[in-house]
């Protein structure tokens, strides 16, 4: 009886010791902090077979990624995937990332313009912190049979869709409404007073619009269920959500708003205290291969910054993408510039007031 217990104890101690020891070079554990769909099982299996590394995936979102890394001063993960506009301010405030070593990246795998744009947007103190991976947009997801006249963000406030509208109470809503009202929030990013003026106008509009809203949605599954059940017929959401719903119900799809869809790029960044940089670089170079990039697009629903990454994407998804975006709509995408530190405090106060308004 006691012998058994001792054996168990010894086994537990050895297991802990093995975990605590730094892994031998060549076979690391990659702790990946990413979005749902960006690291499909089949891709992980292939990566593990080819490189010998193992991958542990944690799915999250922009804010939680930063909060998690902040809590550990950039430890606990070896590779993270925040959007490109959230890198420099987080680095300035919390110092949670480390610079990318460009010589270890196979840069020929990346679409050059996207690689350059992301490098520029994620440069802090002369060092590059981010590489582009997956990009997409947010705009309107509309039931075209019931709310075909909703073509812009402010159309969500029309009486024809009253009580059947949903959007998030988050910063994309502020930005989208501002563009739809003829303002240019991105141009005012660096001027706090001008930005506050824009926020004040948007606040008044959102408070006016509040009776139209059924509920402010929180998670992707929530808005999909609201749209699928027909309880909501017009909403602000991500393009992939609209395309997924379109597969079930041909009436529902993503509409690029007249004022422009809001474009984001999710990146690769190295957390400051990551331990498996080799595995992280291996993963980046692996998933940017055209065949792997197509696999990720097929599960995540969004396209990647990989050269020829759309070659193996299934035809339905391509058709939906082309249905939502013609060339003019693509040219009209408003790409998020880096968020200056402190801007979120202004936006937060505005969102709080909208939330509290009766």
Partner 1 sequence: MTSDASRLGFYLLLAPILLWLVLLIILPHIGLFIVSISEKVGPREYEYGLGNYAAFFGEPLYWRTFARTAIMSILATALTLVLGFPIAYYIAKLTKGRTKTTLFLMCMIPFWVSELVRTFGWMILLRETGVFSNLLQSLGLASGGVEMLYNDAAIMVGLVYTSILFMVVPLVTTLDSLDDSLIEAGYDLGANSTSIMREIVIPHAMPGIVSGCIVVFMLSLGNYLTPILLGGKDSLWFTGMIYTQFITRFNWELGAAFGFLLLALSSLVVFVGLKLSGQSLSETMGRS
Q: Could you tell me the smallest distance in angstroms from the CB atom of residue 160 to partner 1?
A: 17
What is the distance between the alpha carbons of residues 204 and 193, in angstroms, rounded to a whole number?
Answer: 17
Nearer to partner 1, 117 or 272 (CB): 272
Nearest one of 108, 98, 105, 83 to 128, comparing CA atoms: 98
Q: Could you tell me the smallest distance in angstroms from the CB atom of residue 222 to partner 1?
A: 8
By the 8 A CB rule, do 190 and 181 touch? Answer: no
Nearest one of 265, 263, 267 to 325, comparing CA atoms: 263
What is the distance between the alpha carbons of residues 176 and 137, in angstroms, rounded to a whole number?
Answer: 11
What is the distance between the alpha carbons of residues 87 and 124, in angstroms, rounded to a whole number?
Answer: 9
> Which pairs with CB-CB distance under 8 Å and at least 24 residues apart come from 289-293?
289/109, 290/109, 292/43, 292/46
C-alpha atoms less than 13 angstroms from C-alpha of 237 in its C-beta half-sphere? 31
Please report which helix (H) or strand (E) contains residue 33, including its range: strand 29-34
Nearer to partner 1, 46 or 70 (CB): 70
Q: Could you tell me the smallest distance in angstroms from the CB atom of residue 195 to partner 1?
A: 16
Q: Could you tell me the smallest distance in angstroms from the CB atom of residue 32 to partner 1?
A: 20
By the 8 A CB rule, do 107 and 115 touch? Answer: yes
Q: Could you tell me the smallest distance in angstroms from the CB atom of residue 113 to partner 1?
A: 30
Nearer to partner 1, 167 or 179 (CB): 167
325, two tokens: 């975006």
Nearer to partner 1, 9 or 323 (CB): 9
Nearer to partner 1, 91 or 304 (CB): 91
C-alpha atoms less than 13 angstroms from C-alpha of 3 in its C-beta half-sphere? 0
* Residue 282: C-alpha distances to residues 25, 26, 64, 233 (Å): 12, 10, 25, 44
Q: Could you tell me the smallest distance in angstroms from the CB atom of residue 115 to partner 1?
A: 27
Residues that bind partner 1 (CB under 8 A): 63-64, 66-67, 70, 92-95, 170, 210, 213-216, 218, 229-231, 341, 344-345, 348, 352-353, 355-356, 358
What is the distance between the alpha carbons of residues 30 and 306, in angstroms, rounded to a whole number?
Answer: 21
Q: Could you tell me the smallest distance in angstroms from the CB atom of residue 147 to partner 1?
A: 16
DSSP letter (8 states) at residue 90: H
Q: Could you tell me the smallest distance in angstroms from the CB atom of residue 228 to partner 1?
A: 9
Question: Which positions ≥6 away from 38 have C-beta within 8 Å?
Answer: 81, 133, 134, 266, 296, 300
Strand order in the sheet with 29-34: 54-59, 29-34, 79-80
Q: Could you tell me the smallest distance in angstroms from the CB atom of residue 67 to partner 1?
A: 5
Nearer to partner 1, 46 or 210 (CB): 210
């Amino acid at each position: 009886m006691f012998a058994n217990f001792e054996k168990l104890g010894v086994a537990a101690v050895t297991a802990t010791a093995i975990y605590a020891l730094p892994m031998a070079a060549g076979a690391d554990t990659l702790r990946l902090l990413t979005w749902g769909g960006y690291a499909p099982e089949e891709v992980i299996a292939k990566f593990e077979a080819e490189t010998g590394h193992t991958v542990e995936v944690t799915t999250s979102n922009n804010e939680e990624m930063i909060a998690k890394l902040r809590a550990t001063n950039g430890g606990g993960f070896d590779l993270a995937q925040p959007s490109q506009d959230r890198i420099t301010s987080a680095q300035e405030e919390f110092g949670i990332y480390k610079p990318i070593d460009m010589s270890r990246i196979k840069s020929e795998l990346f679409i050059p313009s996207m690689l350059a744009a992301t490098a520029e947007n994620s440069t802090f103190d002369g060092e590059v912190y981010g590489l582009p991976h997956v990009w997409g947009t947010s705009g309107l997801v509309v039931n075209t049979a019931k709310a075909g006249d909703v073509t812009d963000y402010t159309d969500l406030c029309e009486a024809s869709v009253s009580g059947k509208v949903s959007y998030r109470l988050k910063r994309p809503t502020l930005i989208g409404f501002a563009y739809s009202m003829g303002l240019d929030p991105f141009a005012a990013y660096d001027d706090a007073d001008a930005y506050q003026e824009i926020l004040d106008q948007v606040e008044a509009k959102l408070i006016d619009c509040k009776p139209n809203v059924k509920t402010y949605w929180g998670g992707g599954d929530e808005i999909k269920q609201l749209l699928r059940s027909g309880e909501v017929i017009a909403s602000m959401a991500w393009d992939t959500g609209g395309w997924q719903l379109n597969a079930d119900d041909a009436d529902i799809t993503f509409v690029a708003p007249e004022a422009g869809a809001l474009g984001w790029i999710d990146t690769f960044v190295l957390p400051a205290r990551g331990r498996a940089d080799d595995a992280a670089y291996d993963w980046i170079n692996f998933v940017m291969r055209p065949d792997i990039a197509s696999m990720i697009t097929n599960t995540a629903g969004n396209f990647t910054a990989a050269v020829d990454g759309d070659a193996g994407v299934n035809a339905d998804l391509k058709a939906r993408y082309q249905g939502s975006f013609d060339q003019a709509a693509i040219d009209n995408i408003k790409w998020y510039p880096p968020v200056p530190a402190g801007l979120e405090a202004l936006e937060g106060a505005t969102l709080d007031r909208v939330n509290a308004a009766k």
